[in-house]
Structures are given as C-alpha cells and as structure tokens.
Amino acid sequence: MKNLPISLSIAMTMRAIEYAFRKSIHELSIDLPAESFGILMITYYQNDIIQQDIAGMVKKDKSAVLRQIDILEKRGLVQRMVDTCDRRKNFILITEDGKKFVNEVISKEKDLFDRLSQGVEAHEMVTFVKVLSLLKINAENI
C-alpha cells in the first residue's frame, strides 16, 4: 500500500481507536455521543469549570456545548450551578454517578490502551505523545 498522508493516517487511526473504545465500554450501558463523553471527561478532571471554558476547550460554540450538557444533565451525570457572583455563568459539575461512570470508563480505557500499545516500547510511546502534543500546539497556532 502506498504511504498515506499523515492527516489521513491520523484520522483513520482515531476512527479505529474510537471504534475499539466504544466496543470496550458498550457493556457499561450508557450510550453517549462522543461530544458528550468528552465534556463529561473535562468535568471529571476540571472542577468548577464554566460552560464557556468547556466550549473553548472542545472548539465548539456555546450552543453546541449546551446541547451536550443537557444530555449529560438528563442522565444525571453532571449538574449546573449558577455562579453566585455572576448569574450569567454556570458551573458544570460532575455528579457522583458521573464520577462512578468515568472511573469505570477509565479502567476500560487503560485495558484497551494496554492492548493497543502491545509491541510499542515505553520510550516510543513517550516520543509519540510528545509529537502529538507538538502537532496539537502547532495546529492551534495556525
């Protein structure tokens, strides 16, 4: 097979990993859109984050993020809390059910990446992560 452009290789790899990931968490019985899941993960790792900051992190407009937060809130995974100093701001907080779900997903994700990284040396993975980080930074600066 001819060498593919790096952008296509990255896209195909991401789709394959996402498919494997969805398959591995299927048994958890919570079917979330990828966008909602990303927002849930952000609330897990970032306490007291506001809707606008989430929109900036995921590079989506506020209304698109709002729809995903609505989905998560209906499922009891996050809750909104109005900022007492600025009522225009809503903090998005992960609930205990949300934390429990994310912890289960993290466990599944670790198992998946252990399987995916078979045959990859630790120093190769470190280099790979550094390269990905640089690509992301460079893309954000364009």
The residue among 18, 49, 13 whose CA lies nearest residue 35 is: 18
pTM given for the model: 0.72
The residue among 97, 91, 98 whose CA lies nearest residue 44 is: 98
Structural domains in the chain? 6-140 (1.10.10.10)
Please count the helices (runs of H) and the strands (runs of E) in the chain.
Answer: 6, 3
pLDDT digits (tens, 9 = 90+) for 65-114: 999 999 999 999 999 998 788 877 889 999 999 999 999 989 988 999 99
Check residue 83 and give its pLDDT: 77
